[in-house]
Amino acid sequence: MRLTILGGGGFRVPLVHRALLDDPTRAVTEVTLYDTDPNRLRVIAAVLEQQAAGRAKPVAVRLATDLDDALRGADFVFSAIRVGGTAGRVADERIPLSEGVLGQETVGAGGVLYGLRTIPVALRIAERAAALAPDAWVINFTNPAGMVTEAMAEVLGDRVIGICDSPVGLVRRAARAAGADPDAVRYDYVGLNHLGWLRSLTAADGRDLLPGLLADPEALGSFEEGRLFGAEWLHALGALPNEYLHYYYFRRETLASVAESDEPRGAFLDRQQGGFFKAAADRPEDAYGLWERTRLEREETYMAESREASGGWQRDSCDLEGGGYDRVALALMHAIANDRRARLILNVRNRGTVPALAPEAIIETVCEVGAGGATPLPCAPLREDQLGLMLQLKAVERAAVEAAVFKDREAALRALALHPLVDSPAVAARILERATGHTGTQPGHAGTQPEHAG
Ligand code: G6P
Ligand code: MN
């Protein structure tokens, strides 16, 4: 099978490559890395070469800087681009913060700005994929993944599937904290990308372990989401939220923490990633070691501001070990290619799963996957608070897609102003104005070239 990775010069590409090397079936025989930046492509190729050293059967790696050339003949396409690069992320975080509202990679006004900049590029990729690799499955990691998958599905239908590592990470951490085998539990998780809830966790004997876990402060204190949200709120809420919901439930605390931080996440990553790519270009023989060190530092500092806002604590090995988006991607590819039935949490069209949402709206939920693709499983009815947030955010996502497709500034304004973390349309209008000037984030205009995955 041939796999094409768009954003092939992305920092996380070696994780995908490692998953391919570790795959005993060796289903993927050739990987094409496509990126707009040939220098980053060279660095990542050096990391991969050193990662494969000593392996009996390395995976063939081809480099491409022409999109059409990269797409032609692909069986699977992973899209993991960062339009505007980390500099764009810095602006997405800073501009809203200067107006007193949250700026974050995928959440709040920052996420909407990122979506407005990315959707036109993602749509073009979807169109080229439909034309040149009509039978390929497109797996979207590009953030904001919900919004971007929603846009791409307008071209590709069910051939595009969005993925994220946070839901599977939550399930595994919760299962372990409840004393169960993460591979043996069944679960009900539903929402939108970066906005979902784990609502039951069923052990092999059919017992729901979630009520017991939510009533056990000690067990809750042993893993990331338990610490972020705190035992009192989790017990009252009656579900385990995705870590990104911390920005919604604790908006005052998270906003203060992000605003007070000396160096917001985007700025840290801009500096860190820039340092890595420069050092690895100067010393290609050390590329793998440099990458591994940089990766660890990135994992350890993940969500530092949220952790600060919830009492200041360090991530431990259990938090660092999630499902890994590389493994989600590989599991998905296997299930489709070999018709090996699997249950995965994916971003797919709703069909009738959540009756209050349009059938074609993208939701993030438990799916059964096989040769025919991913089918959402029926889930328990949503509670009013869950449904309310989902509907509001879906309106934001739809407005962002509309802004991109119709080059409609009013739709862009609606996307920003309707976001629950933006508290005034006047603020939204100023944010839009400033972003248009700074980053080329304009509805309908690519502004910058597609870039590598962060
Ligand atoms: C998680 C999310 C991704 C997001 C990443 C950000 O893995 O699921 O969607 O891109 O965090 O991590 P970073 O190190 O870039 O802040
Ligand atoms: Mn994600």
Averages of pLDDT over runs of 10 residues in the chain (454 residues) are: 97 95 90 97 98 92 97 97 96 97 97 97 98 98 98 98 96 96 96 98 97 98 97 98 98 96 93 97 98 94 92 81 78 94 97 98 98 97 98 98 94 98 98 81 45 50
- Using an 8 Å Cβ cutoff, are 152 and 138 in contact? yes
Q: What is the pLDDT of residue 317?
A: 77
Nearest CA to ligand 1 atom 4: 143
CA atoms within 13 A on the CB side of 51: 24
What are the structure tokens assigned to 139, written together? 């797996």
CA of 380 to the centre of ligand 2 (A): 23
Tell me which residue of 163, 176, 195, 167 sits closest to 331, measured CA to CA.
163
CA of 252 to the centre of ligand 2 (A): 23
- How many other CB atoms sit within 10 Å of the CB of residue 314? 8
Q: Which of 86, 141, 143 to mutate to test the pocket of ligand 1 (most atoms within 8 A of CB)?
A: 143
CA of 61 to the centre of ligand 2 (A): 26
Residues with CB under 6 A from ligand 1: 105, 143, 164-166, 265, 269, 298, 302, 454
**Spatial separation of the C-alpha atoms in residues 105 and 115, rounded to whole Å:** 10
CA of 244 to the centre of ligand 1 (A): 10
CA of 82 to the centre of ligand 1 (A): 12
- How many other CB atoms sit within 10 Å of the CB of residue 92? 32
Q: Which of 106, 306, 346 to mutate to test the pocket of ligand 1 (most atoms within 8 A of CB)?
A: 106
Q: What is the pLDDT of residue 321?
A: 62
Q: What is the pLDDT of residue 445?
A: 41
Q: Which H or E run contains 367? A: strand 362-370
Q: What is the pLDDT of residue 441?
A: 61
Tell me which residue of 209, 136, 183 sits closest to 344, measured CA to CA.
183
Interface predicted TM-score (ipTM): 0.98
Nearest CA to ligand 1 atom 7: 165
Pairing of strands 76-79, 137-140: parallel
E strands present in 234-313: 240-241
Eight-class DSSP state of 8: T
Question: Which atom of ligand 1 lies at the shortest distance from residue 164's CA?
Answer: 8
Question: Which atom of ligand 1 lies at the shortest distance from residue 265's CA?
Answer: 16
Burial (CB count within 10 angstroms: exposed 0-12, middle 13-18, buried 19+), residue 49: middle
Q: Which residue in this structure is represented by tokens 């009996």?
A: 56
CA of 282 to the centre of ligand 2 (A): 32
**Measured in Å, how far apart are the chain's first and last C-alpha atoms?**
26
Q: What is the pLDDT of residue 440?
A: 53
Backbone angles phi, psi at 35, to 5 degrees: -155, 155
